[in-house]
Amino acid sequence: MKQRDYYFDNVKFILIFFVVFGHLLWSYMDDNHIISAIYKGIYTFHMPAFILVSGYFSKGFDKKGYISKIAKKLIMPYLAFQLIYSIFYYVQHHQSTFKMNPLDPHWSLWFLISLFFWNVLLIIFTKFKASVSIPAAILIGMLIGYMDWTSSFLSLLRTFVFFPLFLAGYYMKKDHIYSLFTLRARILALLAAVTVFAGFYFFPGIHDDWLLGSKPYDALGNASVFAMFKRLGFYLINFIMVMSFLAFVPRKRYFFTTLGKNTLYVYLLHGFFIRLFRESELKNYFSPTIGFLLLGGLALLLTLFLSSRMITSLAQPIIEFKLSKTKKFVYRMVDSFR
C-alpha cells in the first residue's frame, strides 16, 4: 500500500494557523514595528499560498460535473455564512436594521466566492499555454485596480488580483515542489524571507492594504500609471514568499497533519472568535512583546480546537451540508453513556 504524502496536509494546517495568527496580530499592528513587520510578512504568503495550492489541486476542473460540484462545495456555505455573519454583526453591533447582501462578501468569505470564480476562469485561460495565460492574468490583475466598482462586488477585485497565483498553482507539478527541498533552495528561501521581513521593518510606510488586494488604486492613494507596477512588485514578493514557505514545510506526519483536511472549518468559524476578541478587554492583556508569543499559542489552540473532530462533527451540516460526521459523533456520544 502506497504511503500517503503528508506534505500538503501539513501545508494547509500551517497556513490556516498563520491565517488565525495574522488576524489576531491585527489588533497590535500600530503598537510595535516588529509586530507590524511580522503581520505584513505573514500576509505576503499565507493567503497567496492557499490560493496557489488550491490551483494545484484544481487540475480536474475539466471533468464532467466538476464545476457543479465545486459550486455546491463553495457557494452553498458562502450563502449560509453570509447570512450567519449578517445576523452576528446585527447582534454584535446592535444595528437598528438587519442587512444581508449576498453580492458583498462579509470579511473572510471573499475567498469562497473567488475560489469558485478561479475554477471557472480556468476554462478560459487553460486554452492557452502557460507562457501566454499567466502573463495575461498578471496584466489583468495589474489593470483591475483602476476599476473602483470591483472592490466589494462579488469579490471581483481580489478574484482578478490573486488569480495569477491560482493559475500558477494549476500549472505547477510535484517536481516543482520537490525542487524546493534542496539545501541551496532553502538557503535562498531563508535569505529572501529575512529580506522581506526586514524591508517591512525598516520601511513601515508600506501599507498592508496592498497585500490584501481588496482596494482599488484610488483608495490606496495611488491611482497613477505607476500603481500597476507597484502591484507587479507585490506579485514578485508574493511568489518569492510562497516558494520560501513551501520550502520549509515538513513532509513527515505530525500530530496536526490529519487536521489539515479541516482548514475550511477553521477558516469559516475562526472569524467569530476573532471579532469578539478584537472588541473585548481580553486583547489588552497581551503586551506587544511577550504577548506576541502568547498570541501564537492562542492561535494554535484555536486552530486545533476548530479543526477537531468535535467541532467538525457539529459544524458539518452548515459547512458541507452533510450529516456523516455528525451522525458518527452522536453515535459515539450515545455509546459513551451506555
Per-residue pLDDT of 40-58, as tens digits, reads: 999 999 999 999 999 999 9
pLDDT in tens, 7-21: 999 999 999 999 999
pLDDT digits (tens, 9 = 90+) for 84-96: 999 998 888 777 7
Residue 1 lies in a domain: no
Same domain, 338 and 210: no
Q: pTM for the complete prediction?
A: 0.94
Query: In this predicted structure, what is the pLDDT of residue 176?
Result: 94
Asked whether residue 2 is domain-assigned, the answer is no
Q: Answer yes or no: do 116 and 141 share one domain.
A: yes
Q: What is the mean pLDDT of the chain?
A: 91
Residue 1: what pLDDT? 46
Flag whether pLDDT at 68 surpasses 70: yes
- Position 232 scores a pLDDT of 97
Do both 302 and 322 map to the same domain? no
What range defines the domain where residue 290 resides? Answer: 7-307
- pLDDT tens for 223-268 read 889 999 999 999 999 999 999 999 999 999 999 999 999 999 999 9
- Residue 270 placed within a domain: yes
SS (H, E, C) the chain: CCCCCCHHHHHHHHHHHHHHHHHHHHHHCCCCHHHHHHHHHHHCCHHHHHHHHHHHCCCCCCCCCHHHHHHHHHHHHHHHHHHHHHHHHHHHCCCCCCCCCCCCCCHHHHHHHHHHHHHHHHHHHCCCCHHHHHHHHHHHHHHHHHCHHHCCHHHHHHHHHHHHHHHHHHHCCHHHHHHHHCHHHHHHHHHHHHHHHHHHHHCCCCCCHHHHCCCCCCCCCCCCCCHHHHHHHHHHHHHHHHHHHHHHCCCCCCCCHHHHHHHHHHHHHHHHHHHHHHCCHHHHHCCCCHHHHHHHHHHHHHHHHHCCHHHHHHHHHHHCCCCHHHHHHHHHHHHHHC
Looking at the fold, whether 113 and 93 belong to one and the same domain comes out as yes
